[in-house]
Amino acid sequence: MTKIISLLNQKGGVGKTTLSTNIAMSIKEHGKKVLLVDSDPQGSLRDWNEANEGKLISVVGLDRETLAQDIEAVKNGYDYIIIDGSPQSAKLAGAAIKISDLVIIPVTPSPYDVWACADFIEIIKARNEVTDGKPKSYFLISRSRTGTNLSSEITEALSGYNMPVFNSRTVHREVYAKTASEGLTVHNDKKAVEAIEEITSITKEILELI
């Protein structure tokens, strides 16, 4: 059965696309067939795919409220589908939540990110109430900075939402932006050992959850 993972946050700039591509590549390295879905009309994921000439991972653009039906039509043959969520669109986010096995909410170590999650978390919890707690939903701290207390403070702040947080996280590293601009992932840079370890750790948690 195809497993669907959505990376969603109605705030932009939290690293959804970068996480989507890197996690997809990490899962692919486990021998799984992965499809990336770009649900953002701006098409950042499709631009990334064009930059690598479609050679890394299959990508489709499905940026309409018929997302559930559209994915049903293309999911055959894939072990995992990863949806790169659109910011600002509550209806598209709602459509993704309905069909997901796991929702990942990336947040940067910023109080603004934490505050901006409130309405979106309510959408997820409303869905959970009528579906026996499905989908599973987790915060993921992205772009944290080493040597600061802010990341631990954000973890404490997120606890107010009563939603679990991944143990793994990503650190702000130039290699994420560099490889993304080339249509690649950190796995294509053998020197990016620490970044690869971060993504591998996140992927391990994901595969244990679904």
HSE, CB side, 13 Å, CA atoms: give it for residue 210.
Answer: 24
The beta strand positions in the chain, using DSSP E, are 3-7, 34-38, 58-61, 80-84, 102-107, 136-141
Total structural domains within the chain: 1
> Which residues span the domain enclosing 137?
3-209
Amino acid identity of residue 179, one-letter, is: T
3-state SS, one letter per residue, for 137-177: EEEEECCECCCCCHHHHHHHHHHHHCCCECCCCCECCHHHH
**Is 8 within 8 Å of 104 (Cβ atoms)?**
yes
**Is 74 within 8 Å of 60 (Cβ atoms)?**
yes
Phi-psi group of 143: left, alpha or beta (phi > 0 → left; psi -120 to 50 → alpha; rest → beta): left
Q: What is the DSSP code (8-state) at residue 86?
A: P
For residue 97, give the CATH number of its domain.
3.40.50.300
HSE, CB side, 13 Å, CA atoms: give it for residue 143.
Answer: 16
Per-residue pLDDT in tens (0 to 9) along the chain, 210 residues: 999 999 998 777 889 999 999 999 999 999 999 999 999 989 999 999 999 999 999 999 999 989 999 999 999 999 999 999 987 677 888 899 999 999 999 999 888 888 888 888 988 998 998 898 899 999 999 998 876 666 677 888 898 899 999 999 999 999 999 999 999 999 999 999 999 999 999 999 999 999
State the pTM of this model.
Answer: 0.94
Sign for the pseudo-dihedral over CA of 198, 40, 154, 124: negative
* Token couple for 46: 């499709």
Residue 200: count other Cβ atoms within 10 Å of its Cβ: 17
State the residue for tokens 């499809």. 35
